[in-house]
Amino acid sequence: MSGKILVTGGAGYIGSHTCILLIEAGYEVIVFDNFSNSSIESIKRVEKIVGSSIVVIEGDIRNRDDLRGVFENHKIDAVIHFAGLKAVGESVEQPLRYYDNNISGTVALCEVMSEYSCKSIVFSSSATVYGDPHTTPIKEDFSVSATNPYGRSKLFIEEILRDLYVSDNSWKVVLLRYFNPVGAYKSGDIGEDPKDIPNNLMPFIAQTAVGKREFLNVFGDDYNTHDGTGVRDYIHVMDLADGHVKAINKIKSFNDVMTINLGAGKGYSVLDVLKAYEMASGKEIPYKIAPRRDGDIASCYADPSYAREILGWEAKRDINQMCIDSWRWQSKNPDGYKS
């Protein structure tokens, strides 16, 4: 495959892993990132892994001139749009910052793409748009809702991109709804590097296993699930990355808006993940049962059959592999990219 792909947020967790597979598939990658939640070190390590250099542009998607500079200098074929803020709790405290960064940023990006007649975009949406689903597994046509500004920013952006397509059918839009991305590249040189105390389960477990946290709080053991703890669809970040490459391959051959779940289609509880991580790391991971976390739901996992049908994609790595790869990254880099 060939073509130039602009990867906004390409220095972040999912973006950096996706860059590897894009380059291996033959695409030229331009990373655009303001490093608000990442560092250039991730890209340096990706360059080592792929054995070639990557064009990196420091800029903000809200700044149209920053973006115009990229499109002036590069003939971009498609954009994978990862750039965004993603902490649910923070979004409740700072809604305007989230709406400005995520929504205004996407509007600016699409305007500049339009100016340069680049109308192919793959967008990072989230299973959070399903709110509290009435049943599982979750299909793409389930009703959507949001309980926090982060989730609403994803819902609004999906709608904005649909409206854009209605206004101009030459747009090609893929909305990828990720379930719970975890794990790391197999070498353990890149991975998830939370800036503060991790909000998400797997990085918190990883930091507990490596001795940076004393114990895991298990948020609730009285849900209606097989062991009472919350059930989620964990998906290996390299499988997720592969989904983006397949979306980019596909985008050339259609004009439409496609909404696609990227999940493994299996639900694991908090205690299932904890046990799998203990096996992978050979460490005992202390935990305490704590009250439920506000806004959490009992169970969430995908029906991933549409991704298989439309993209020929399915998740290949199981929960044990996710924990093994997460542990390799965490134990090699106890302080993340600062290590």
User: Could you give the CA distance from residue 160 to residue 207 in angstroms, rounded to a whole number?
Assistant: 38
Rounded CA-CA distance 267/308 in Å is: 18
Tokens of 16: 């950096």
Contact between 183 and ligand NAD by CB under 6 A: the answer reads no
38 binds, among ligand NAD, ligand WQD, none (CB under 5 to 8 A by kind): ligand NAD
CB-wise, 34 or 126, nearer to ligand WQD? 126
Q: Does 213 bind ligand NAD (CB under 6 A)?
A: no
**257-262/172-178 β-pairing:** parallel
**Contacting residues for 95 by C-beta, under 8 A, at least 6 apart:** 149
| 12 lies in the binding site for ligand NAD (CB under 6 A) | yes
How far is it, in rounded angstroms, from Cα 57 to Cα 49?
Answer: 20
Q: Which two tokens stand for residue 291?
A: 């009250």
Q: Does 113 bind ligand WQD (CB under 6 A)?
A: no
**Are the CB atoms for 171 and 121 separated by under 8 Å?**
yes
Q: Per rule CB under 6 A, is residue 330 in the interface with ligand NAD?
A: no
Give CA–CA dist 201/193, Å, rounded. 13
Strands 55-58 and 287-290, sheet pairing: unpaired
- Give me the 219-258 binding string for ligand WQD, x by CB under 6 A, dash otherwise: x----------x-x--------------------------
Does residue 14 belong to the site contacting ligand NAD (CB under 6 A)? yes
Answer for the pair 281, 331: CB distance below 8 angstroms, yes or no: yes
C-beta of 282: minimal distance to ligand NAD in Å? 26
The sign one gets for the Cα dihedral 262, 13, 132, 323 is positive
Nearest approach in angstroms of CB 169 to ligand NAD is 26
> Quick one: what does residue 84 bind among ligand WQD, ligand NAD, none, with the CB cut-off 5 to 8 Å set by partner type?
ligand NAD
Is residue 305 within a helix (H) or strand (E), and if so which, with residue range? helix 305-311
Burial class (CB in 10 A: 0-12, 13-18, 19+), 169: exposed
The residue from 6, 21, 80, 82 that contacts ligand NAD (CB under 6 A) is: 82
- How much helix, strand and coil, in percent to the nearest 5, is found in the chain? 40, 20, 40
Task: Compare residues 64 and 283 and give the one whose CB is closer to ligand NAD.
Answer: 64
**Which residues are marked as active site?**
150
Q: Which does 35 bind (CB under 5 to 8 A by kind): ligand WQD, ligand NAD, none?
A: ligand NAD
**Residue 217 in contact with ligand WQD, rule: CB under 6 A:** yes
Q: Which of 6, 7, 11, 43 touches ligand NAD by CB under 6 A?
A: 11
Residues 53-72 that bind ligand NAD (CB under 6 A): 60-62
Interface region with ligand NAD, contact rule CB under 6 A, candidates 11-19, 206-214, 261-269, 321-329: 11-19
For ligand WQD, the closer CB: 106 or 180: 180
Cα angle 79, 4, 180 (rounded to 5 degrees) comes to 45
From candidates 33, 158, 242, 272, binder to ligand NAD by CB under 6 A: 33
Query: Where along the sequence are the contacts to ligand NAD (CB under 6 A)?
Result: 8-9, 11-15, 33-38, 60-62, 82-86, 101, 105, 124, 126, 178, 181
